[in-house]
């Protein structure tokens, strides 16, 4: 997904570029980013609600 080109120079130089396959991820990643931004308040609310429960059952099973 990323092409790495090493140039045998002093000092060494490395170039990175996205491949055609890697470029196909752009659209789904942008969609995921947009979803995350749109739903951030919902995620934060759910996290706060979970944290405030004080769920001791999950803590007991973890130890």
**pLDDT tens figures, 2-55:** 999 999 999 999 999 999 999 999 999 999 999 999 999 999 999 999 999 986
Report the candidate in 5, 34, 33 with the shortest Cα–Cα distance to residue 19: 5
Contact yes or no for 2/19 (Cβ under 8 A): yes
What's the predicted TM-score (pTM) here?
0.58
At residue 30, the pLDDT reads 98
Residue 2 β-bridge partners: 18
What confidence score (pLDDT) does residue 54 get?
82
Backbone dihedral region for residue 11 (phi beyond 0: left; psi -120 to 50: alpha; all else: beta):
beta
Count of beta carbons in the 10 Å neighbourhood of residue 18: 13
Overall average pLDDT of the 51-62 stretch: 69
């Amino acid at each position: 997904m990323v092409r790495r080109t090493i140039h045998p120079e002093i000092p060494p130089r490395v170039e990175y570029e996205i491949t055609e396959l890697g470029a196909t991820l752009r659209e789904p990643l942008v969609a995921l980013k947009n979803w995350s931004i749109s739903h951030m308040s919902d995620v934060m609310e759910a996290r706060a609600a979970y944290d405030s429960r004080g769920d001791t059952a999950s803590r007991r099973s973890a130890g």
